[in-house]
Structure 1
C-alpha cells in the first residue's frame, strides 16, 4: 500500500466497496472517534465493532469520491471529500443512497506508540499489521466524520 495519506483514504473507500475489513484503517486508541450519518462512536473498540457489524449487514457498496482533498503535515494529515455512497441494507432489505461530506484526521502509523500503530490494550489483541500483513496502512484514521449534505 502506498505511504501517502491520500492513498490510504482511497484504499479505505476500496475496502468499503469490496466488503473488506475496515477496522485496520483506524488507530486503536481510546481517542479514536467516528461520526457517521446516524451514529457517534467513541474509542477504537466502539468504532471497530460498528464497522464489523456494518460489513456483516450491508452489501453492494458504491463509493464515489468527488472532491478529495488531503494535506499532510509531518506525522499528521487531514482530509475532506464529497462522496456519493449507496449500499443495500441486508437486515431491512432496502437500498440506501446519500450525498455525504467526509472529513477527518490521520496519524502516520510509525509515529504512534508502537510500530504497528495499535494500542496494546486493544481487547482483541488484533492489530493492523497482524490483520493486513505487509499491506498495513501507513496512515491510520484518528477521527472520521461523515454527514449528509441536506440543504436547509
Structure 2
C-alpha cells in the first residue's frame, strides 16, 4: 500500500502539488443506491410525486455536485470536467433506485471523488424529495466502480 499523499513530512494535511504531473485522459464511474418502499418507488416511476420529476432533479443535483466537489471535500483540486453523466434506474424488483455516474476530463488528477460525490448527492436528492412520503429510505452502498488514467493505473471492481 502506498503512503498517504495528503500528509506532508511533518504529518500535516496539505493539498498535493500536481503541477509536474502529465495531463492524461481520466475517467471514473461510481454507483449509489436508494432503497425504499414499493409504493414510494412506484410514485417516482409513475411521475406522481407532488414535487415533480424526482429523477430529473436528482440528475441535475448530481451533475452540479460533481462540478463543485472541490468546495465540499477538503484538499480536492478544482477540476474542469469535460463530461458528467448521472443515470438513474428504477430496480422495481429490489425496491430501489440505482444511480450510476461517470466523470471525465483530461488533466493532472483523477475524478474518483467527483464521480462518488455525484452519486452521493443524487441519492441525497432522492431522499430529500421523498422524505415527506417515507423517512426510512436507505442510501447505500456507495462505491467506486472503475477509474482509468493517471500514474496509479486502472481500477475496476471485480463484480462489474
Q: Is TM-score (shorter-chain normalized) higher than 0.5?
A: no
| TM class, shorter-length | 0.3 to 0.5
User: Which TM-score applies when normalising by structure 2?
Assistant: 0.34
More strand by share: 1
Task: Identify the structure with bigger relative contact order (alpha carbons < 8 Å, sequence gap 6+).
Answer: 2
Question: Which has the greater radius of gyration?
Answer: 2
TM-score in terms of structure 1 length: 0.35
